[in-house]
Amino acid sequence: MTIYDIAKEAGVSASTVSRVVNNKSGVHPSTKAKIEKLLKKYHYSPNETARGLIKQNNHMIGVLVADIRNVHYTDGAYTVEKAFAKLGYCCIIFNTGSETKEKTEYIQVLSQRRVEGAVMIGSTFQTKDVEEAIIQYMPNTPIVIVNGYLELPNVYGVLADERTGVSSLVNLLFSKGHRHLAFINNCYTPSNLLKIKGFEEEVKKLGVEQPTVVYDTDTTLEGAYQVTKQLMEEHPEVDGIIYSVDLLASGGGRALLDMGYAVPEQVAYTGIDNSIYAEFSTPKITSLDNKLLELSMMAARFLVDLLGGGKVTKKVMVFSSIVERETT
């Protein structure tokens, strides 16, 4: 059902129908009524594709996320979608995975779709390859990165201060008498690298001579469980652990319990993200709230402002805070 079909049946021209559809003034009430009746009768809805072609806008924004199943990415995607839906935009969401190649491919896809703006969720998008893809394919599309930034005229960043956040976690553990700290990491995203940097710097600053211990694992409960066991066997002196994300802390915490450690007296540990995992686990996990939710809300607002032609800060940082629970 097109505007022409309606026009023919109403005995008017397409332009008149268009005027009615768009609520423009200057249509005779009687013709207007006649047309509206037909519109309703056929449940006419304008073809946004055609509209977009002539209006040079499609009210679509792209959302890139490594994997929406990660809780904080889920929240981010939700926040962004909700914010834009309210404004009549729709979000096309892609799970890029962690591979560089896929990320750049999806950037290309977004450019073909001519999205008006994009949000990339996660520091994993703060890479050279993404930067180049943006330069090539979307040099003029406003892009906001959640917890990341690229030095490009059309890219904006809202960041968490995870480096100092982790420093404060170290301080917390230290203040409770824990001196032999370890860090368990899941992957080397820019965000996690900052966390490790914050960890190592603060440990050094506090004057602990012992070399810092950093272990790797994949992002699973089981992986965290195993690597924690391994850590405690190889470094029995460790009495405080910072996990790069809550999920690891949950899995690792179980290992500590199974090994018979008293938590938090003998070994204390923390997660990062202050996600539902921290709240759900037993014992409930002390976690660094890096405000990822606020970050996404801010990102959405930034992009909305940019699309509205407003000026926006290129780069902001949101301060994190510790939520203490039962593991410290």
- Residues near its own copies (CB under 8 A), total: 43
Structure token digits, residue 270? 């923390």
What length is written for the chain?
A: 328
* Of 50 and 259, CB closest to DNA: 50
Among 9, 27, 131, 254, binds DNA (CB under 7 A): 27
Considering only residues 78 to 117 of the shown chain, the ones binding its own copies according to CB under 8 A are 78, 81-82, 85, 90-95, 106, 108-109, 111-114
Among 11, 210, 230, 259, binds DNA (CB under 7 A): 11
Q: What is the dihedral of CA 206, 269, 287, 319, to 10 degrees?
A: 10
- Stretch near its own copies under the rule CB under 8 A, chosen from 49-57, 177-185, 202-210, 300-308: 49-57
CA distance linking residue 242 with residue 229, whole number of Å:
14
Considering only residues 54 to 113 of the shown chain, the ones binding DNA according to CB under 7 A are 54-56
Q: Shortest CA distance to 199 belongs to which of 319, 289, 273, 191?
A: 191
User: Smallest distance from the beta carbon of 23 to DNA, in angstroms?
Assistant: 10
Amino acid (1-letter code) at residue 28: H
16 near DNA (CB under 7 A): yes
Among 186, 244, 275, 281, binds its own copies (CB under 8 A): 281
Among 23, 26, 140, 209, binds DNA (CB under 7 A): 26
Rule CB under 7 A: which residues touch DNA? 2-4, 11-16, 18-19, 21-22, 25-32, 44, 46-47, 50-51, 53-56
Rule CB under 8 A: which residues touch its own copies? 43, 45-50, 52-53, 58, 60, 67-69, 74-75, 77-78, 81-82, 85, 90-95, 106, 108-109, 111-114, 136-137, 221, 250, 277, 279-282
